[in-house]
Amino acid sequence: MHDNKTPDWPDSLAICEQLHDKLLPVFELTLKQESIPPEPRLMDNFSTLYLPLSAWIAQQQQQVPLVIGINGSQGSGKSTLCKILSPLIEQGFGKKVATLSIDDLYKTRQQRQHMSQTIHPLFETRGVPGSHDVDLGIALLTKIKQQTGAVKIPVFDKATDDRKDEKYWQLTHDKTDIVLFEGWCVAAVAEETISLATAMNALEKNDDPDARWRQYINQQLKTDYQRLFAFIDKLIMLKIPDFNKVIEWRTLQENKLKKNPGSNGQNLAMSDDALRRFIMHFERISKHTLQEMPARADVILDVGHDHQIQQIALKVIK
């Protein structure tokens, strides 16, 4: 059960009131660095969402490193949320924060090409469960939990569709207090096998007629990915109105890419048809997660049709 009132939320938001003036410039600087317009609704959310959520996360961390899972469909704002929360938690509450995206854990291009040849051709496209190096993620989070020193987090280069050389990996703090672990399928669970028989969309119907690809993905979610997600201590869900918003928001992102090619002049934007096909890879798990995850998430952030967070719901502890 969820409600806006819970004992876990900072009482009367007193600590947030004390930190408001100190952290507002930190918030505004983050928006500027990320080229996010300081719209009125967003600025209101500083006091009603970002600051109290930062305080709530900081309160959850006690003696050992805390892993916060952040789930949200493509384009829901997971990365932006992490970029906002990280400096607020560090500068407001003295916690050392590391951000890990499930995108950082993609298998190399060569590994995925091998999967496409030996398991199913659709695995050449990154994103779905099975295309991540789960063992690498487990090793990283194990080291962070053990507090044995700084840990190198891999970096995936979407321009080359491959993992960057280790010299470009990001170094965490010697002792990390909080890990923000974000991704579109973070904490997702497997479906009932019987539901896989019916194709979800044209991609599944035409490219996976025998359901072999989606059965493999589902098995990955049921086994290896649960070992990875077992590290999550608290779960935050960015809940979009419906899956159609993924198409709408990703189209906006692609249109921006078309207008602003990369520094090397290479334009990585997809055509409308390519984008629709790409999103079909994620439709099944995204829709299943939207249906089942709200009942178990510790915090639900309802994202409105205007792409702004409209409501906060926290699990009631009984």
Domain over 2-315 is classified CATH 3.40.50.300 = yes
Q: Inter-axis angle of helices 272-292 and 212-222, to 10 degrees?
A: 40
Question: DSSP per residue over 51-82, as a string?
Answer: HHHHHHHHHH--SS-EEEEEEE-TTSSHHHHH
Question: Around Cβ 135, how many Cβ atoms within 10 Å?
Answer: 12
* Dist CA 288 CA 127 (whole Å): 16
CA 201 to chain centre: 24
For residue range 135-174, list pLDDT tens digits in order. 999 999 999 999 888 899 999 998 889 999 999 999 888 8
Checking if the pLDDT of 111 tops 90, the result is yes
Q: Which of 114, 98, 49, 52 is nearest to 77 (CA)?
A: 49
β-pair partners for 72: 238
β-pair partners for 68: 180, 234
The bridge status of strand 309-315 relative to strand 2-3 is antiparallel
Average pLDDT for the chain: 89
The bridge status of strand 299-303 relative to strand 66-72 is unpaired
User: Using the 8-state DSSP alphabet, how is residue 46 labeled?
Assistant: I
pLDDT at 258: 65
Helix or strand holding residue 88 (H, E): helix 78-93
For residue range 176-191, list pLDDT tens digits in order. 999 999 999 999 999 9
pLDDT at 98: 95
For residue range 280-308, list pLDDT tens digits in order. 999 999 999 999 999 999 999 999 988 88
| 3-class DSSP assignment, residue 138 | helix
For residue range 217-260, list pLDDT tens digits in order. 999 999 999 999 999 999 999 999 999 999 888 887 777 766 66
Length of the chain: 318
Q: If pLDDT is split at 50, 70 and 90, which confidence band does 313 have? A: confident
User: Using the 8-state DSSP alphabet, how is residue 178 labeled?
Assistant: E
Ranges of each domain in the chain: 2-315
Helix or strand holding residue 228 (H, E): helix 224-229
Question: Around Cβ 103, how many Cβ atoms within 10 Å?
Answer: 17
Give the tokens for residue 93.
Answer: 């509450």
